[in-house]
Amino acid sequence: MSRANMDKNPDEVAAMFDGVAKRYDLVNDLLSLGQTKAWRRATTKIIDPKPGMKILDLAAGTGSSSEPLARAGAAVIPADFSDGMLEAGRKARPHLPFTKADALNLPFADNEFDVATISFGLRNTADISKALAEMWRVVKPGGRIVVTEFSTPTFAPFRILYLRYLMRALPAIARRTSSNPAAYIYLAESIRAWPNQAALAADIGAAGWIDISWKNLTGGVVAVHIGRKP
């Protein structure tokens, strides 16, 4: 089965996610030790969806992040560039308007959304700066970006244990549960190589967003970054 390399070739990344789409949510729950749902709830609370809001949910996968936004009355577009993920999402949540979209070249108009959010997907783009700039383009002035991504645990002893889990336990669990365990080796490597909270905040600011802050979840295993378009 396929896995992407750290150069994050878009075709390879899409093929990798096509291969894990059917069991993606289940395996993620196992590998996160049940924390995935809590992280999504925290992200939804930060987004604070309301009727009348238009939200772009990038790298939406099967729509598990989009569903609570729609339930709150927001008009949400779940977008992904993996055909396998889109197919799984349409089967699981046929009421949501799944849309194929490349984060580096979004098929949406300027100033169209109140919020652009991406959960555990920015890390998989071939050009983070371009993805952040595209999200800036499609958000209205005064609108927000919300990025949920794996990050750097803030407590040093826990950080050491976490990195050991990533490189040893995570691939072992994936071999027993996933149809494409090699994809989860990529996952571990990409998390280790990802910038810490302050460095990602700087990248977001360089794309034109202002008032940037972040909230650590599970001791910094995940961080939710928030910014505003001036």
Is residue 2 in some structural domain?
no
Number of independent structural domains in the chain? 1
> What is the model's pLDDT at position 179?
56
Q: Which residue has the tokens 């002893």?
A: 157
Is residue 214 in some structural domain?
yes
Q: Which residue has the tokens 């990050």?
A: 151
Q: Which residues, other chains included, contact 17 with Cβ-Cβ below 8 Å and sequence gap of 6+?
A: 24, 61, 80, 82, 84, 85, 183
Is residue 164 in some structural domain?
yes
> Among residues 188, 178, 29, 40, which one has the least CA distance to residue 123?
188
CATH of the domain at 146: 3.40.50.150
- How much of the chain is in helix, strand and coil states, percent to nearest 5? 50, 20, 30
Count of CB atoms within 10 A of residue 167's CB?
14
The Cα–Cα gap between 160 and 175 comes to 23
Is residue 5 in some structural domain?
no
Helix (H, G, I), strand (E, B) or coil at 54: strand
Task: For residue range 149-181, list pLDDT tens digits in order.
Answer: 989 989 888 788 877 766 676 666 666 655 556
Q: Which residue has the tokens 């979209």?
A: 101
Q: Which residue has the tokens 């098929």?
A: 107
pLDDT band at 103 (very low <50, low <70, confident <90, very high): very high
> What is the model's pLDDT at position 171?
66
**Does pLDDT of 86 surpass 90?**
yes
C-alpha R_g of the chain = 16
Better-scored residue on pLDDT, 132 or 9: 132
Structure tokens at 99: 């849309």
DSSP 85: H
The Cα–Cα gap between 224 and 38 comes to 12
Expressed as residue numbers, the domain containing 160 is 10-228
The mean predicted confidence, pLDDT, of the chain is: 84
Is residue 101 in some structural domain?
yes
Is residue 76 in some structural domain?
yes
Task: For residue range 140-150, list pLDDT tens digits in order.
Answer: 999 999 999 98
